[in-house]
Every structure is written in structure tokens, then in C-alpha cells.
Amino acid sequence: MDDLIRKSDKLSVVAQLAAGVAHEIRNPLTAIKGFLQLFQREKEFNEQFLDLVMEELERVESIIYEYLTLAKPNHESTFDNLHLQPLVNKVMTLVETQSIMKNVQIDFEYENVPPICGSEKQLKQVLLNLIKNAIEAVDVNGEIVIRLLNHAEDQICIQIEDNGCGISSERIARLGEPFYSTKEKGTGLGLMVCYKIIEHHQGILTIHSEEGAGTRIDVILPVYEG
């Protein structure tokens, strides 16, 4: 009985999200259609429009990708013995262009931590979302520190700290809500995806933030006990 209820709960969240996704991708699709109609009529190749079409398509793509992660978190992923230090380095390379463009300094401080048991693909997604949020939160010349620490005896902690805009307490309360974003181009699904994935890894994600001062996200994960 309990199981049944849990299953139907899950379904309704997924169904609710699907309705949200349909709603969210309508705007970029309408925009793309409008641009294409303009091309058709004017027969004029305009590079700026092309960039906009590409941006809107990327938005559709990320909404769908994030939705799929939420609806089916174990889709295409396997849990392995995973070393986090090289993973953080990999993700730092992925955000390099974005951080250089904004002149944001990203430092990585790490202790020698044992491996965890997890999905590289999913945890990469978590780190990418969190570091991107940090980059988006800071001003030019912002600073971000990523730390990899031994936590309790059999846990590790990944911290991502920024000196950006911070989050007010009433906004923090809304962060679990799908599609809640304060950004013009935000999907408002990134943090939900992170919560979901960390939960799947038997971990805990907490947000410490002060408006105007910055934010620190802590991700605590159990170490591998193979």
C-alpha cells in the first residue's frame, strides 16, 4: 500500500513536471518559428537571428535534458568507484570559457579523499549546475572556491562557495520549486536535478546563503565501501 502511494506520488510529480516542460518550451519554440518565418519572407541571411535561434534551441534542449534526469534519474548511468578530484578538474575545464569571459577566479582546494560510489555522468551534471550557478551569481571579478574535504569518518564533502549576489531567505524557500528562476535565461530545474541526483547517491545537499554576500553549497556523500 505504502509503495503504491509512493509510486502514484512520484507519477504525479513527473506528470506535473511534464506539463511545466510543455509550457516552458512553448516560448522558445514560438520564438524559433517566428525567426524562421522571417527568414522565409525576407530571404535574408541574418547571423544575429541565427545566434538567437541557436540560443533558443539550446534552451529547449536543456529543459528536456533536465526533465529527463528528473523523471528517470538512472537513465543511461552506472554507479562505479569514482574519484572526485579528477572529476572536479574535468568540470572546471568545461566552465573555463564562461569563467574567463566573466573574469571570475575559480580556485580548487582539496584534501586527499577516498573514492565514492557514484555515477560520473550524474555527478558531473551536479557539479556543472552548481558551478554555473556560482558563475552566474557573481559579478565581474567574482571569486569561487571549490573544496573537496573529508567530512565524517565515512563521508566526504564538496563545497562550492561564491561571493555573488546570495539568496534571500524567502527565495531560499522557493528553490525546490520547479521552473523557479530569477534569471532571464534560466530553466529553474538545475537545483532540482542536483537535489534528486544527490538523494540518489544517499547524499545531502544544503544551501547556506546571505543576500549580498554570497552562497555556499555543501554536498555530502558517503565514501565507497567496496
CB 147 within 8 A of CB 218: no
Q: How far is the CB of 133 from ligand ADP (least distance, A)?
A: 3
Range 142-181, binding ligand ADP (CB under 6 A): 162, 164-167, 175, 180-181
Q: Could you say whether residue 190 binds ligand ADP (CB under 6 A)?
A: yes
Q: Which amino acid makes up residue 209?
A: S
- DSSP-assigned states of every residue in 147-212: EEEE-STTEEEEEEEE-S----HHHHHTTTSTT--SSTT--S-HHHHHHHHHHHTT-EEEEEEETT
Q: How far apart are CA 78 and CA 180, in angstroms?
A: 30
Q: Are strands 143-150 and 105-110 parallel, antiparallel or unpaired?
A: parallel
Binding mask 162-201 for Mg ion (x = CB under 5 A): ----------------------------x-----------
Choose, by CB under 5 A, the member of 133, 155, 209, 215 that binds Mg ion: 133
Smallest gap from residue 158 Cβ to ligand ADP (A): 14
Detail the DSSP E strand segments found in 35-104.
80-82
Nearest approach, Cβ of residue 188 and Mg ion (Å): 8
Site for ligand ADP in 109-148 (CB under 6 A): 129, 133-134, 137
Stretch that binds Mg ion, among 54-62, 113-121, 133-141, 211-219 (CB under 5 A): 133-141
Alpha carbon distance 61, 63 (integer Å): 6
Residues of the shown chain interacting with Mg ion in the complex, contacts defined by CB under 5 A: 133, 190
Residues of the shown chain interacting with ligand ADP in the complex, contacts defined by CB under 6 A: 129, 133-134, 137, 162, 164-167, 175, 180-183, 186-191, 215
